[in-house]
């Protein structure tokens, strides 16, 4: 007989440890911004690419508390310009890569809300990330944008633990970002290199959901979705970006 | 019973708070990409115009002007950039969410720009369009400039005057006639000060000085000072031109006084 999902099974016996590994598809879309004050004036053209992502999570769960550490790495290619009425392929060298880690601390209400099995929580998340964006113009001009960023965010979360073997979680995250941005422009024809670097600020909003289904005494399979909107403002330049990822993976609770 | 009611009340408050809490993306995110465009392909610049608009009626003329500007900017600054650019033509300031009918914005990383085009289409329309397009050509050709003076000034200083006279024919006489209002160049090279100067004066004075510098000393020297930040631009100018900024400023004003077109 299959037992309940590990998280559910151990909800009353703190603390339990959960490991997750997942992989999937990540989509990145970028628009440079000419005016960053609301209403934000972003480019009418979207630079969009897609590629694989892998994520590992470690979680310590008590009945009303959660600590989580997650690291992920992704890369995007196959970029194109989207104008709303058409798309145009970009050079093969256009790419984006990301390495991200975050730490979560969360508390849940003791009593269910609205329906039995549904509980609400709030928490704080610290995020560290490094990203590298490569634009190519005419094959001989390369523009690279490197950002090293840290964010602090508030997380509102809902978790549903009513059905045996099934766990559903949803999160809404809003945060502020401090980043160091470096933009490097290289023209291979005239052998010209220019580089600017500055500190910048930004924001992020995540909407995420995850469903897990227990398949063995210590294991479950999971499906997750995340949509992120974000903005970054540096000296003399700014951009807004969107990420969407769909992943499948496994959960292991020793 | 009272405790249950209290817990229920707090739970409800929490749910409501989740629902109405301001999300950063709601206030700080961009609007969606627009799809109400008709496309007019050009050799190096594709125009996106509103159906039935003044921009659509003048798309061929706009294309002719911008192709000339592209060639002129690449030649004047010896750029190797030859990317395909997208121009979005709005039919009013409200349509573009811009402050006036003589406004535009550029987005170099995505090789695009947009501007307002209303009747009558004149040299001012061409100059506005060319200024915004020049931001894309120049920034993608040279990288980001180090100052507002260079970013905004060079986009106008590089205007071709084949289809209008809003370049040197306007800038040099304007400089001399407004000499009493012009801030010292030592202020204009400082980004913090540049923003305090009235916008039209900051733009035109920057453009006039850079147009003179480009014509007098050539593009190689200008490229060497292009990326210098405010804090280092005066020294970089002195090093590249072997003269202090004040000396160049005096020569520029004398030139504008005697310029006859």
- Residue B49's pLDDT is 97
CA atoms within 13 A on the CB side of B46: 18
Domain membership of residue B217 as a residue range: 144-261
What span, in angstroms and rounded, lies between the C-alpha atoms of B68 and B82? 13
pLDDT beyond 70 at A214: yes
Q: Which of these, B117, B103, B131, lies nearest to B204 by C-alpha position?
A: B131
What span, in angstroms and rounded, lies between the C-alpha atoms of B101 and B97? 10
- On the question of a cis peptide bond just before residue A39, with omega within 30 degrees of 0, the verdict is yes
Cβ contact, residue pair B18, A172, below 8 Å = yes
- Residue A36's pLDDT is 85
- Residue A217's pLDDT is 87
What span, in angstroms and rounded, lies between the C-alpha atoms of A33 and A53? 27
> In which band, very low, low, confident or very high, does the pLDDT at A3 lie, cut at 50, 70 and 90?
very low
What span, in angstroms and rounded, lies between the C-alpha atoms of B108 and B141? 10
Measured between beta carbons, the chain A residues lying within 8 angstroms of B34 are 44, 84
- Residue A113's pLDDT is 86
Q: In this predicted model, which residue has the larger pLDDT, A114 or A31?
A: A31
- Domain final residue, candidates B119, B143, B167: B143
Domain membership of residue A231 as a residue range: 6-252
Q: Residue A248 is part of a domain; what is its CATH number?
A: 2.40.128.90
State how far Cα A10 lies from the chain centre: 28
Q: What do you get for the CA distance between the two ends of chain A, in Å?
A: 18
Q: Which of these, A176, A223, A228, lies nearest to A200 by C-alpha position?
A: A176
Mutate to test the interface with B, among A45, A114, A205 (most CBs of B within 10 A): A45
Q: Are residues B241 and B156 in the same domain?
A: yes
Cβ contact, residue pair A43, B112, below 8 Å = yes
Mutate to test the interface with A, among B12, B19, B30 (most CBs of A within 10 A): B30
Q: Are residues B100 and B161 in the same domain?
A: no
Q: Residue B125 is part of a domain; what is its CATH number?
A: 3.40.30
Element (H, E) at A156: strand A141-160
Cβ contact, residue pair A120, B83, below 8 Å = no
B188: its two tokens: 């204009």
> In which band, very low, low, confident or very high, does the pLDDT at B14 lie, cut at 50, 70 and 90?
low
Lowest-confidence region among A7-21, A62-76, A172-186, B54-68: A7-21
Q: How many separate domains does chain A show?
A: 1
Average pLDDT over residues A105-125: 91
- Examine residue A176 and state whether it is found in any structural domain, yes or no: yes
- Examine residue A1 and state whether it is found in any structural domain, yes or no: no
Average pLDDT over residues B244-255: 96
pLDDT beyond 70 at B9: no
Alpha-carbon gap: B261 to the closest alpha carbon of chain A (Å): 33
- Examine residue A101 and state whether it is found in any structural domain, yes or no: yes
Q: What does the pLDDT look like over A57-114, one tens digit per residue?
A: 999 998 899 999 999 999 999 999 999 999 999 999 999 999 999 999 999 998 888 8
- Residue A14's pLDDT is 55
Q: What does the pLDDT look like over B93-145, one tens digit per residue?
A: 999 999 999 999 999 999 999 999 999 999 999 999 999 999 999 999 999 99
- Residue A138's pLDDT is 80
- Examine residue B5 and state whether it is found in any structural domain, yes or no: no
Instruction: Tell me whether B114 touches chain A (CB under 8 Å).
Output: yes
Q: Are residues B72 and B164 in the same domain?
A: no
Alpha-carbon gap: B249 to the closest alpha carbon of chain A (Å): 26
- Examine residue A161 and state whether it is found in any structural domain, yes or no: yes
Using a pLDDT cut of 90, give the percent of chain A over it: 77
- Residue B32's pLDDT is 85
- Examine residue B87 and state whether it is found in any structural domain, yes or no: yes
pLDDT beyond 60 at B168: yes
CB B42 within 8 A of CB B80: no
Alpha-carbon gap: B39 to the closest alpha carbon of chain A (Å): 8
Does the ipTM exceed 0.85? yes
Cβ contact, residue pair A229, B24, below 8 Å = yes
- Residue A8's pLDDT is 44
Q: How confident is the prediction for chain B on average, in pLDDT?
A: 91
What is the reported pTM? Answer: 0.89
Alpha-carbon gap: A32 to the closest alpha carbon of chain B (Å): 6
> In which band, very low, low, confident or very high, does the pLDDT at A11 lie, cut at 50, 70 and 90?
very low
Lowest-confidence region among B5-19, B186-200, B233-247: B5-19
Q: Are residues B50 and B138 in the same domain?
A: yes
- In degrees, rounded to 5, the angle at the alpha carbon of residue B99 between the alpha carbons of residues B93 and B104 is 70
Q: Which of these, A141, A83, A234, lies nearest to B136 by C-alpha position?
A: A141
Instruction: Tell me whether B93 touches chain A (CB under 8 Å).
Output: no
- Residue A236's pLDDT is 81
- Examine residue B6 and state whether it is found in any structural domain, yes or no: no
Cβ contact, residue pair A236, B7, below 8 Å = no
> For B10, phi and psi rounded to 5 degrees?
-65, -40
Measured between beta carbons, the chain B residues lying within 8 angstroms of A237 are 109, 144
- Residue B22's pLDDT is 54
In our burial notation (b when 16+ CB lie closer than 10 A, e otherwise), range B78-107 reads ebbbbbebbbbbbbeeeebebeebebbbbb
Mutate to test the interface with A, among B28, B104, B132, B220 (most CBs of A within 10 A): B28
Q: Are residues B87 and B155 in the same domain?
A: no
- Domain final residue, candidates B95, B117, B143: B143
Q: Are residues B123 and B193 in the same domain?
A: no
Q: Are residues B102 and B48 in the same domain?
A: yes
- Examine residue A203 and state whether it is found in any structural domain, yes or no: yes
Average pLDDT over residues B58-74: 97
């Amino acid at each position: 007989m299959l037992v309940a999902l590990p998280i559910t099974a151990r909800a009353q016996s703190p603390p339990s440890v959960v490991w997750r590994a997942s992989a999937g598809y990540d989509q990145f879309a970028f628009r440079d911004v000419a005016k960053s004050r609301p209403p934000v004036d972003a480019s009418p053209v979207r630079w969009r690419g897609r590629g694989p992502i892998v994520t590992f999570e470690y979680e310590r769960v008590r009945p009303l508390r959660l600590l989580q550490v997650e690291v992920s790495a992704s890369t995007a290619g196959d970029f194109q310009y989207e104008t709303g009425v058409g798309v145009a392929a970009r050079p093969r060298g256009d790419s984006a890569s990301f390495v991200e880690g975050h730490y979560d601390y969360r508390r849940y209400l003791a009593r269910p809300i609205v329906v039995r099995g549904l509980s609400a929580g709030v928490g704080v998340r610290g995020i560290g990330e490094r990203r590298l964006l490569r634009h190519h113009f005419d094959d001989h001009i390369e523009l690279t944008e490197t950002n090293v960023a840290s964010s602090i965010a508030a997380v509102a979360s809902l978790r549903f633990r009513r059905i045996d073997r099934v766990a559903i979680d949803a999160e809404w995250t809003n945060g502020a970002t401090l980043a160091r941005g470096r933009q490097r422009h290289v023209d291979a024809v005239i052998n010209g290199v220019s580089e600017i670097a500055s500190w910048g600020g930004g924001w992020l909003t995540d909407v995420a959901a995850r469903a897990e289904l227990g398949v063995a005494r210590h294991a479950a399979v999971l499906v997750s979705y995340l949509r992120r909107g974000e903005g970054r403002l540096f000296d003399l330049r700014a951009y807004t970006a969107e990420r969407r990822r769909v992943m499948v993976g496994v959960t292991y609770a020793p | 019973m009272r405790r249950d009611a209290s817990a229920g009340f707090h739970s409800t408050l929490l749910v409501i708070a989740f629902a109405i809490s301001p999300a950063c993306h709601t206030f700080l995110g961009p609007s969606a990409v627009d799809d109400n465009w008709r496309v007019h392909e050009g050799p190096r610049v594709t125009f996106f115009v509103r159906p039935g608009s003044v921009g659509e009626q003048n798309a061929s003329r706009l294309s002719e002007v911008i192709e000339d500007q592209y060639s002129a900017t690449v030649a004047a600054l010896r750029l190797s950039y030859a990317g395909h650019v997208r121009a979005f033509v709005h039919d009013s300031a409200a349509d573009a969410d811009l402050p006036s009918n003589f406004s535009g914005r550029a987005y170099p990383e995505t090789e695009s720009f947009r501007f307002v085009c209303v009747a009558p289409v004149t040299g001012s329309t061409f100059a506005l369009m060319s200024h915004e397009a020049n931001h894309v050509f120049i920034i993608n050709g040279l990288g980001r400039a180090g100052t507002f003076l260079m970013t905004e000034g060079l986009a106008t200083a590089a205007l071709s005057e084949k289809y209008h006279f809003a370049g040197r024919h306007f800038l040099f006489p304007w400089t001399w006639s407004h000499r009493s209002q012009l801030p010292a160049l030592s202020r204009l090279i400082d980004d913090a000060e540049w923003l305090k100067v009235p916008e039209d004066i900051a733009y035109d004075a920057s453009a006039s000085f850079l147009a003179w510098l480009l014509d007098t000393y050539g593009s190689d020297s200008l490229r060497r000072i292009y990326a210098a930040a405010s804090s280092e631009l005066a020294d970089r100018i002195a090093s590249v031109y072997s003269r202090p900024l004040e000396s160049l400023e005096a020569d520029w004003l004398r030139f504008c006084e005697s310029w006859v077109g």
